[in-house]
Amino acid sequence: PDAIETIADIIPRLTVSRVIYVGETHDQFAHHMNQLKVIRKIHDAGYKLAVGMEMFQKPYQQVVDDYLAGQIDEINFLKKTEYFSRWRYDYNLYKPIIDYLKKQRIPLVALNIQGDLTRKVAREGMYNLPGKQKRQLPSDMNFSNETYRKDLNQVFVVHNKQEDLQDFNYFFQAQMVWDEVMAESAHRFLADHPEHKMVILAGNGHVRYKYGIPDRLYRRNHEPFTVIVQDEEIEDGVAHYVLLTTKLAGKESPK
Protein backbone atom coordinates (compact mmCIF):
# COMPACT_ATOMS: atom_id res chain seq x y z
CA PRO A 1 0.00 0.00 0.00
CA ASP A 2 1.02 3.62 -0.52
CA ALA A 3 2.41 5.43 2.51
CA ILE A 4 -0.05 8.06 3.68
CA GLU A 5 1.19 10.95 5.75
CA THR A 6 -1.51 11.84 8.29
CA ILE A 7 -4.71 10.68 9.94
CA ALA A 8 -6.58 13.50 8.17
CA ASP A 9 -5.72 11.83 4.83
CA ILE A 10 -7.61 8.65 5.71
CA ILE A 11 -10.74 10.16 7.29
CA PRO A 12 -12.72 10.19 4.00
CA ARG A 13 -11.87 6.48 3.60
CA LEU A 14 -12.82 5.68 7.19
CA THR A 15 -16.23 7.29 7.06
CA VAL A 16 -17.52 4.92 4.38
CA SER A 17 -17.44 2.28 7.16
CA ARG A 18 -20.03 2.02 9.90
CA VAL A 19 -17.49 0.59 12.38
CA ILE A 20 -13.95 1.93 12.75
CA TYR A 21 -11.51 0.05 15.00
CA VAL A 22 -8.51 1.91 16.39
CA GLY A 23 -6.17 -0.50 18.18
CA GLU A 24 -3.71 0.48 20.88
CA THR A 25 -0.93 -0.57 23.16
CA HIS A 26 -2.60 0.40 26.44
CA ASP A 27 0.26 2.35 28.02
CA GLN A 28 1.20 4.43 24.95
CA PHE A 29 -0.15 7.97 25.30
CA ALA A 30 0.47 8.67 21.58
CA HIS A 31 -1.92 5.84 20.68
CA HIS A 32 -4.69 7.45 22.71
CA MET A 33 -4.05 10.84 21.15
CA ASN A 34 -4.46 9.24 17.72
CA GLN A 35 -7.70 7.60 18.84
CA LEU A 36 -8.98 10.98 19.98
CA LYS A 37 -7.97 12.52 16.66
CA VAL A 38 -9.96 9.90 14.72
CA ILE A 39 -13.03 10.36 16.98
CA ARG A 40 -12.83 14.14 16.72
CA LYS A 41 -12.45 14.20 12.93
CA ILE A 42 -15.37 11.82 12.35
CA HIS A 43 -17.52 13.81 14.78
CA ASP A 44 -16.48 17.11 13.16
CA ALA A 45 -17.46 15.68 9.78
CA GLY A 46 -21.03 15.60 11.10
CA TYR A 47 -21.61 11.89 11.71
CA LYS A 48 -23.63 10.55 14.64
CA LEU A 49 -21.08 8.65 16.60
CA ALA A 50 -20.69 6.32 19.57
CA VAL A 51 -17.41 5.05 21.01
CA GLY A 52 -17.10 1.46 22.23
CA MET A 53 -14.31 0.85 24.74
CA GLU A 54 -12.65 -2.35 25.93
CA MET A 55 -11.60 -0.46 29.10
CA PHE A 56 -15.06 -0.59 30.72
CA GLN A 57 -17.07 -3.68 31.60
CA LYS A 58 -20.71 -4.10 30.62
CA PRO A 59 -22.20 -4.25 34.15
CA TYR A 60 -21.04 -0.65 34.69
CA GLN A 61 -22.79 0.88 31.66
CA GLN A 62 -25.24 2.80 33.86
CA VAL A 63 -22.37 4.40 35.81
CA VAL A 64 -20.70 5.42 32.52
CA ASP A 65 -24.00 6.96 31.34
CA ASP A 66 -24.46 8.81 34.64
CA TYR A 67 -20.97 10.31 34.39
CA LEU A 68 -21.38 11.44 30.78
CA ALA A 69 -24.73 12.99 31.71
CA GLY A 70 -23.06 14.97 34.52
CA GLN A 71 -24.96 13.17 37.30
CA ILE A 72 -21.85 11.94 39.12
CA ASP A 73 -18.33 13.36 39.35
CA GLU A 74 -15.13 11.86 37.95
CA ILE A 75 -13.99 10.30 41.24
CA ASN A 76 -17.31 8.48 41.67
CA PHE A 77 -17.25 7.40 38.04
CA LEU A 78 -13.83 5.81 38.50
CA LYS A 79 -14.74 4.23 41.85
CA LYS A 80 -18.08 2.84 40.72
CA THR A 81 -16.74 1.38 37.47
CA GLU A 82 -13.97 -0.16 39.63
CA TYR A 83 -11.55 1.31 37.10
CA PHE A 84 -8.47 0.99 39.31
CA SER A 85 -8.92 -2.68 40.11
CA ARG A 86 -10.37 -3.77 36.76
CA TRP A 87 -8.36 -1.82 34.17
CA ARG A 88 -5.50 -0.37 36.23
CA TYR A 89 -3.75 1.68 33.50
CA ASP A 90 -3.21 5.32 34.43
CA TYR A 91 -6.54 7.06 33.85
CA ASN A 92 -4.72 10.07 32.39
CA LEU A 93 -4.06 7.93 29.29
CA TYR A 94 -7.81 7.86 28.57
CA LYS A 95 -9.02 11.04 30.24
CA PRO A 96 -8.72 13.32 27.15
CA ILE A 97 -10.90 10.89 25.16
CA ILE A 98 -13.56 10.57 27.84
CA ASP A 99 -13.57 14.32 28.54
CA TYR A 100 -14.21 14.89 24.83
CA LEU A 101 -17.07 12.34 24.72
CA LYS A 102 -18.64 13.99 27.77
CA LYS A 103 -18.35 17.48 26.32
CA GLN A 104 -19.73 16.47 22.92
CA ARG A 105 -22.40 14.15 24.36
CA ILE A 106 -21.10 11.18 22.42
CA PRO A 107 -22.26 7.84 23.91
CA LEU A 108 -19.57 5.61 25.44
CA VAL A 109 -20.42 1.91 25.21
CA ALA A 110 -18.80 -0.43 27.76
CA LEU A 111 -17.87 -3.47 25.67
CA ASN A 112 -15.97 -5.75 28.00
CA ILE A 113 -17.04 -8.90 29.79
CA GLN A 114 -16.62 -9.10 33.56
CA GLY A 115 -12.97 -9.95 34.17
CA ASP A 116 -13.64 -12.64 36.76
CA LEU A 117 -15.64 -14.58 34.17
CA THR A 118 -12.77 -14.70 31.65
CA ARG A 119 -10.35 -15.63 34.44
CA LYS A 120 -12.62 -18.50 35.45
CA VAL A 121 -12.99 -19.75 31.86
CA ALA A 122 -9.18 -19.61 31.39
CA ARG A 123 -8.72 -21.85 34.42
CA GLU A 124 -11.75 -24.14 34.32
CA GLY A 125 -13.18 -23.97 30.79
CA MET A 126 -16.52 -22.51 29.74
CA TYR A 127 -18.40 -25.81 29.92
CA ASN A 128 -17.60 -26.10 33.63
CA LEU A 129 -19.08 -22.71 34.60
CA PRO A 130 -22.03 -22.67 37.00
CA GLY A 131 -25.41 -22.03 35.31
CA LYS A 132 -25.65 -18.35 36.28
CA GLN A 133 -22.26 -17.57 34.73
CA LYS A 134 -22.94 -19.74 31.70
CA ARG A 135 -25.93 -17.54 30.94
CA GLN A 136 -23.60 -14.54 30.61
CA LEU A 137 -21.81 -16.17 27.65
CA PRO A 138 -22.74 -15.06 24.12
CA SER A 139 -25.32 -17.32 22.47
CA ASP A 140 -23.36 -17.36 19.22
CA MET A 141 -19.63 -18.20 19.18
CA ASN A 142 -17.26 -19.17 16.38
CA PHE A 143 -14.24 -21.39 17.15
CA SER A 144 -13.12 -21.94 13.59
CA ASN A 145 -10.35 -19.42 12.84
CA GLU A 146 -7.06 -21.36 12.77
CA THR A 147 -4.82 -18.28 12.60
CA TYR A 148 -6.53 -16.90 15.71
CA ARG A 149 -5.88 -20.21 17.49
CA LYS A 150 -2.24 -20.33 16.37
CA ASP A 151 -1.48 -16.74 17.40
CA LEU A 152 -3.16 -17.24 20.77
CA ASN A 153 -1.05 -20.33 21.33
CA GLN A 154 2.07 -18.16 21.15
CA VAL A 155 0.53 -15.77 23.70
CA PHE A 156 -0.36 -18.73 25.93
CA VAL A 157 3.23 -19.96 26.02
CA VAL A 158 4.27 -16.59 27.51
CA HIS A 159 1.25 -16.35 29.86
CA ASN A 160 1.23 -19.80 31.36
CA LYS A 161 4.73 -19.28 32.74
CA GLN A 162 3.39 -16.27 34.66
CA GLU A 163 -0.13 -17.23 35.63
CA ASP A 164 -0.54 -20.94 36.40
CA LEU A 165 -2.66 -21.49 33.27
CA GLN A 166 -2.62 -25.21 32.57
CA ASP A 167 -4.82 -25.83 29.58
CA PHE A 168 -4.48 -24.07 26.23
CA ASN A 169 -8.06 -24.94 25.23
CA TYR A 170 -9.40 -23.13 28.30
CA PHE A 171 -7.19 -20.11 27.57
CA PHE A 172 -8.40 -20.16 23.95
CA GLN A 173 -12.05 -20.30 25.09
CA ALA A 174 -11.48 -17.36 27.47
CA GLN A 175 -9.97 -15.17 24.74
CA MET A 176 -12.73 -16.09 22.34
CA VAL A 177 -15.49 -15.40 24.86
CA TRP A 178 -13.82 -12.02 25.52
CA ASP A 179 -13.84 -11.07 21.80
CA GLU A 180 -17.33 -12.47 21.20
CA VAL A 181 -18.77 -10.50 24.13
CA MET A 182 -17.19 -7.26 22.90
CA ALA A 183 -18.56 -7.91 19.40
CA GLU A 184 -22.01 -8.67 20.84
CA SER A 185 -22.01 -5.52 23.02
CA ALA A 186 -21.17 -3.37 19.98
CA HIS A 187 -23.76 -5.20 17.87
CA ARG A 188 -26.53 -4.55 20.40
CA PHE A 189 -25.83 -0.82 20.50
CA LEU A 190 -25.61 -0.54 16.70
CA ALA A 191 -28.82 -2.52 16.21
CA ASP A 192 -30.62 -0.20 18.65
CA HIS A 193 -29.12 2.98 17.13
CA PRO A 194 -29.25 2.47 13.35
CA GLU A 195 -28.15 6.05 12.61
CA HIS A 196 -24.85 5.82 14.56
CA LYS A 197 -21.36 4.89 13.46
CA MET A 198 -19.07 3.41 16.10
CA VAL A 199 -15.37 3.86 16.81
CA ILE A 200 -14.09 0.89 18.83
CA LEU A 201 -11.03 1.29 21.04
CA ALA A 202 -9.34 -1.96 22.07
CA GLY A 203 -5.90 -3.51 22.33
CA ASN A 204 -4.18 -4.20 18.99
CA GLY A 205 -4.48 -7.93 19.74
CA HIS A 206 -8.28 -7.74 19.65
CA VAL A 207 -8.41 -6.13 16.20
CA ARG A 208 -5.34 -7.10 14.15
CA TYR A 209 -5.91 -9.56 11.31
CA LYS A 210 -9.66 -8.88 11.92
CA TYR A 211 -10.06 -12.22 13.68
CA GLY A 212 -10.81 -10.84 17.17
CA ILE A 213 -13.67 -8.36 17.42
CA PRO A 214 -13.99 -7.25 13.74
CA ASP A 215 -14.89 -10.57 12.08
CA ARG A 216 -17.10 -11.50 15.03
CA LEU A 217 -19.09 -8.27 14.80
CA TYR A 218 -19.26 -8.59 11.00
CA ARG A 219 -20.74 -12.09 11.39
CA ARG A 220 -23.56 -10.48 13.37
CA ASN A 221 -24.30 -7.34 11.35
CA HIS A 222 -22.58 -7.51 7.91
CA GLU A 223 -21.75 -3.81 8.17
CA PRO A 224 -18.60 -2.44 6.48
CA PHE A 225 -15.67 -1.80 8.84
CA THR A 226 -12.11 -0.47 8.85
CA VAL A 227 -9.29 -1.65 11.12
CA ILE A 228 -6.43 0.60 12.24
CA VAL A 229 -3.59 -0.74 14.40
CA GLN A 230 -0.71 1.24 15.88
CA ASP A 231 3.00 0.43 15.85
CA GLU A 232 2.47 -3.13 14.65
CA GLU A 233 4.69 -4.89 12.10
CA ILE A 234 3.47 -4.02 8.62
CA GLU A 235 2.36 -7.35 7.21
CA ASP A 236 -0.23 -8.44 4.69
CA GLY A 237 -3.68 -8.43 6.22
CA VAL A 238 -2.68 -7.09 9.64
CA ALA A 239 -5.10 -4.14 9.24
CA HIS A 240 -6.37 -1.64 6.69
CA TYR A 241 -4.01 0.98 8.14
CA VAL A 242 -1.00 0.91 10.45
CA LEU A 243 -0.21 4.13 12.34
CA LEU A 244 3.45 4.60 13.22
CA THR A 245 3.79 6.92 16.19
CA THR A 246 6.37 9.05 17.93
CA LYS A 247 6.44 8.44 21.69
CA LEU A 248 4.56 11.07 23.67
CA ALA A 249 5.04 11.60 27.39
CA GLY A 250 1.64 12.31 28.91
CA LYS A 251 0.97 13.61 32.40
CA GLU A 252 1.14 10.75 34.91
CA SER A 253 -1.02 10.40 37.99
CA PRO A 254 0.77 10.89 41.31
CA LYS A 255 1.83 7.59 42.87
pLDDT one-digit tens code per residue, 113-130: 988 899 999 999 999 999
pLDDT of 4 above 70 = no
Could you tell me the sign of the dihedral formed by the alpha carbons of 246, 105, 205, 8, in that order? Answer: negative
Whether the Cβ atoms of residue 149 and residue 172 lie closer than 8 Å to each other: yes
Q: Read off the pLDDT band of 3 (50, 70, 90).
A: low
Give the whole-angstrom CA distance, residue 134 versus residue 127. Answer: 8
Question: 3-state class of 40 per DSSP?
Answer: helix
For residue 151, what is the enclosing H or E element? helix 146-162
For residue 254, what pLDDT is reported? 65
Q: What are phi and psi of 49, to 5 degrees?
A: -135, 145
pLDDT of 25 above 90 = yes
For residue 221, what is the enclosing H or E element? helix 213-221
**Count of C-beta atoms within a 10 Å radius of residue 40:** 17
Percent of the chain whose pLDDT exceeds 70: 96
